[in-house]
Structure 1
Amino acid sequence: MRFLPALILLLGFTSPLVAAAPLVLKQGEVRLPMPGRTVTAGYFTAENSASHEVELVKASSPAFARVELHQHIRQDDVMRMVEVESISLEPGATLVFQPGGLHLMLFEPQVELRLGDSVRVSLYFADGSSQDFELPLAEMPRR
Structure 2
Amino acid sequence: ILRIDGVGTVQDSWLHDPNGVGSAQHNDVIQSTNAKYIRILHNRLENQHTQTSCILLKADIGSISDVVVDSNLMNGGGYSFYWYDANYKITNGKVTNNKFMRASGGGFWPKGGYYGTQAFSASTMPQWSNNTWNDNGQQISP
TM-score range, shorter chain: under 0.3
Structure with greater Cα Rg: 1
> More helix by proportion, 1 or 2?
1
Q: What's the TM-score once normalised by structure 2's chain length? A: 0.24
- Which one has more relative contact order, counting CA pairs under 8 Å at least 6 apart? 1
